[in-house]
């Protein structure tokens, strides 16, 4: 059993060779939110979908924040390690390979933080509307870790400069980053789905 338990859903793989996906919802979501997206993006993949353990005005999140865009970085670090411990436990229990962490918004931010802090637990990441998690990011060896970052051109929550900084931080640590800016705001578009599906299929 993991040191920290997450309410979660697990769907086993129905197609050998497809990469497992760790699905990380946005603020107010739950363990069921991204399952349809996971099935669409990588049909037949094992899907592991936990619910964030922090509540903000009754809404589940993966870590605390002081205000929009201002993260409680000490809590973020703690929660990222908890998530990686959970992933390690789930890999052993279900016999799956290291998953790609696929996160939206708050889920993308915990995904990038966990990748930097515990790279061995993840194959890579798909970051949908992700932003910089740490003002001073940890040193990390992300060589061989592919990352797809999809940003919205008119996103009111994540500035272009912030998204570009995240991409640079990941590249500086050796990750193979593809950063695409799509027409849209903070919500996902069909273009996001098409880009993510094609990217996952290559990995």
List the catalytic residues. 105, 155, 186
Q: Could you tell me if residue 202 is left (phi over 0), alpha (psi between -120 and 50 degrees) or otherwise beta? A: alpha
Distance CA 151, CA 10 (A): 28
Torsion of CA 104, 88, 169, 191, to 10 degrees: -30
* Sequence-separated (6 or more) residues with CB below 8 Å from residue 185: 152, 154, 155, 156
Terminal Cα distance for the chain, rounded: 29
DSSP symbols for 132-163: ---SSPPP---TT-EEEEEEETT-SSS-HHHH
Give the residue from 66, 152, 62 showing the smallest Cα distance to 107. Answer: 62
């Amino acid at each position: 059993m993991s040191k920290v338990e997450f309410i979660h859903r697990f769907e086993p793989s129905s197609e050998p060779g497809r990469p497992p996906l760790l699905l990380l919802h946005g603020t107010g979501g739950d363990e069921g939110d991204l399952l349809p997206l996971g099935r669409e993006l990588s049909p037949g993949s094992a899907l592991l979908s936990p619910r964030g353990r922090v509540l903000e005005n009754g809404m589940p999140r993966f870590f605390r924040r002081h205000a929009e865009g201002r993260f409680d970085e000490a809590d973020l670090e703690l929660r990222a390690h908890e998530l990686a411990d959970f992933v390690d436990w789930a890999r052993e229990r279900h016999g799956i390979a290291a998953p790609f962490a696929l996160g939206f918004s708050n889920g993308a931010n915990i995904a990038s933080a966990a990748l930097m802090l515990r790279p061995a637990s993840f194959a890579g990441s798909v970051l949908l509307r992700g932003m910089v998690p740490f003002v001073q990011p940890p040193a990390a060896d992300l060589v061989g870790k592919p990352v797809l970052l999809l940003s919205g051109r008119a996103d009111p929550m994540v500035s272009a400069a912030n998204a570009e900084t995240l991409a640079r931080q990941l590249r500086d640590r050796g990750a193979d980053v593809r950063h695409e800016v799509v027409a849209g705001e903070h919500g996902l578009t069909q273009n996001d789905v098409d880009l993510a599906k094609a990217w996952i299929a290559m990995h």
